[in-house]
Amino acid sequence: MRKFLLPILLMVFFIVESIFVELMPPKVFGNEYILVPHFLMIAIILLTVYGPKNYGVLYGFLFGLLFDIVYTEIMGIYLCLFPLVAYICYKLMKILQTNIVMVTFISIVGVALLELGAYEMNVLINRTDMTFVSYSMDRLIPTLTLNLIFIILTVYPFKRHYEKLALSLDA
């Protein structure tokens, strides 16, 4: 039963992202801001940092494909970005200390890379006419703020769960 807990947990965050978007009233932060929750990506980044080796990249591929199938019209953007961001965070954490402050910072950098990668792909194929300054002020900064709050609230429980998972797989 324990081996199914991780995929179920990640699937819950996959679903919670869309529920959050549906239930979040647009007037809370003003109509001009676009808040994009990346709870699943944060869970994958934290799995990459604290969990078993290569699990973050593997689940990045799986959930990136699922994300593309369910939410986007363009196949492959998140299929490439999820594991790429997880891999970059994995390599950065091999260099840096794995304290909670540094992991929080790297997670926010990962979310920023994901957002910027998706934006640049949409600019490249002419699916958006939003300028970078407008994108930064209206979407990127509010998204990073929302996800920072989520990271602060969940980093310690994720750390404990993923470290237990890594220990149970080593035993």
Mean pLDDT by 10 residues, the chain (171 residues): 85 95 74 89 96 92 96 90 97 92 97 97 90 94 96 95 83 58
Which residue, among 45, 32, 74, 73, has the nearest Cα to 155 in the 3D structure?
Answer: 45
Residues 6 and 13: beta-carbon distance below 8 Å: no
Measured CA distances, 54 to 1, 49, 51, 153, 157 (Å): 21, 10, 8, 25, 20
Measured CA distances, 14 to 9, 94, 148 (Å): 9, 27, 18
Question: How far, rounded to the nearest angstrom, does the alpha carbon of residue 107 sit from its chain's CA centroid?
Answer: 8
Q: What is the pLDDT of residue 131?
A: 94
Q: DSSP letters of 2-19?
A: GGGHHHHHHHHHHHHHHH
> DSSP character for 108?
H
Q: What is the pLDDT of residue 166?
A: 81
pTM, rounded to two decimals:
0.93
Q: What is the pLDDT of residue 124?
A: 93
| Phi, psi dihedrals of residue 128, rounded to the nearest 5° | -140, 150
Which residue, among 96, 127, 121, 122, has the nearest Cα to 109 in the 3D structure?
Answer: 96
How far is Cα 57 from Cα 61, in angstroms, rounded to an integer? 6
Residues 62 and 83: beta-carbon distance below 8 Å: no
Residues 162 and 169: beta-carbon distance below 8 Å: no
Question: How many residues are there in the chain?
Answer: 171
Q: What is the pLDDT of residue 22?
A: 87
